[in-house]
Amino acid sequence: MKYNNPVIKGFYPDPSVCKVKDTYYLVCSSFQYFPGVPIFESRDLINWKQIGHCLTRESQVQLGEVTSSGGVFAPTIRHNNGRFYMTTTNDTTRQNFYVWTDDIYGEWSEPIYVDQGGIDPDLYFEDGKTYFMSNGKDDNGIGGIVQCEIDIETGTKLSPSRSIWQGTGGRYLESPHMYKINGRYYLMASEGGTEYGHMVVYARGDSISGPFEAYPDNPVLTNRNLGGYELQAVGHGDLVQDDDGHWWMLHLGFRQIGQWLTYHHLGREVFLTPVTFGEDGWFTAGYNGTTLTSFETDRISNHVAQQEKKIFTFENTDWNLDWCYLRHPAQENYKLDIDKLQLKGTEVSLDTPKSPTFIGIRQRDFNAEISCDVKLTSGEAGITLYMDEHHHYDLAVQKVANEYKVIERLNIGDIKSIEHEVDLGSDNHTTLVIRANHERYSFFIHANGEDLLLGTAQTRYLSSEVAGGFTGVLIGLYAHGEDSAAEFSKFKCEYL
């Protein structure tokens, strides 16, 4: 059959995967968004359904005034003796921790902290022992992939932290994962930075603590030399074996907006690439070491069809799964119904690293039409295309004195400009419409059966290349102002 990449679209970076019986489970980074660490499940590796989050309580993760792209980095999910474990880093507090659950569909434990630095932690279980890895420096100040043994019940270190591999020389050695395959230990990681030079590398050894011999043809997977190709920044992968003995890599990558336009704003997404072991015990990945937009494979049955959801509404999404908040929300400012949303604003705006009244859903593809009816009582409310507190485009209704208007506002770094506005008079109810393509967003209000164009803005100014950071655009519904209040209805995001 033929499948298309990415297999999970939109801002779902740093995937990690494990398999239990006939089901695969995958987690991704969430940074400053809450709930933290979304969880997906699949039976076929190409169709993924979100089933929850690992971090659903404020006691599990401190997000406070975490700036954009701070917070929760690079989780790993593993299963051992009937229990799931997810380990991750709160990069803002510089703490590595893990949580666990016996019910993947239920709540997860309070965090258990490990006294080892670095980021991108990994757990490996063998013979009743638990090994913890991260990138950083060991107890002697030596950098690389750092490993120690821990007590899985308490997180207490049972051995010193020791650097076991320094990689192949690429910058930003990160995302370590350990596997035992056919009697050998394989240590996979990434280098080059999670940008256009990203790459997957690996080594193997006869002991869990090394020494490790690097694969002679590293990197095993990278798109760094594919100029003009849509898929870039391939890296940060995790291996999994299917029921037929085939190996796969789930990894991140991103789609740039045009063949020669090296910008991406949808965030880092989840890709699936086949892996093949040779007779010499080394493995290769993808097509000549690259990831493609689609793969023809006989590893997945032709009876499996890749499904893609094209329309997202209030009615067909789940507030607890598909939507998320900026940091820890004040729940009294949100009323979530099956067909409408009521928001009460505060003095906290989208421009500050706090928790404005905001609830968002990830933009999953380039071409889309987003619409929503907004009824404003006071203050300001509308739709924001949100990359971070310094880079977002807002289409909003404002009340000024006793009259209303719609504004198109662009926030690009230190430049914050209301580009266009339309007076509504005493009418406090309108339909906001945003049309998106690869290169531009266009902003409309719908009235009297027609769409009135306010203006357009380039997508590149919401890209990571401009904004920096590790996230992607969210389609947010928000309210701002001490006494602001608004009702949203008929929300629809349709991918074209």
Active site residues: 14, 174
DSSP string, 393-423: EEEEEEEETTEEEEEEEEEETTEEEEEEEEE
Smallest CA-to-CA distance from 473 within 373, 372, 388, 367 is with 388
Those residues whose C-beta lies under 8 Å from the C-beta of residue 449, and which sit 6 or more positions away, are none
Smallest CA-to-CA distance from 100 within 114, 116, 85 is with 85
351 strand-pairing partners: none
Residue 420 in tokens: 């266009």
Smallest CA-to-CA distance from 47 within 104, 86, 9, 85 is with 9
- Helices (H), ranges, 167-284: none
Residue 208 in tokens: 């869990």
Q: How far apart are CA 332 and CA 338, in angstroms?
A: 17
∠ CA 70-134-36, nearest 5°, is 35
Looking at residue 221, the DSSP 8-state letter turns out to be B
Those residues whose C-beta lies under 8 Å from the C-beta of residue 316, and which sit 6 or more positions away, are none
Judge residue 248's burial from the number of C-beta atoms within 10 Å of its C-beta, 0-12 exposed, 13-18 middle, 19 or more buried. Answer: buried
Smallest CA-to-CA distance from 270 within 2, 1, 10 is with 10
What is the C-alpha end-to-end distance of the chain, expressed in Å? 24
Q: Quickly count helices (H) and strands (E) in the chain.
A: 1, 36
Q: How far apart are CA 195 and CA 210, in angstroms?
A: 29
Smallest CA-to-CA distance from 358 within 26, 71, 68, 72 is with 68
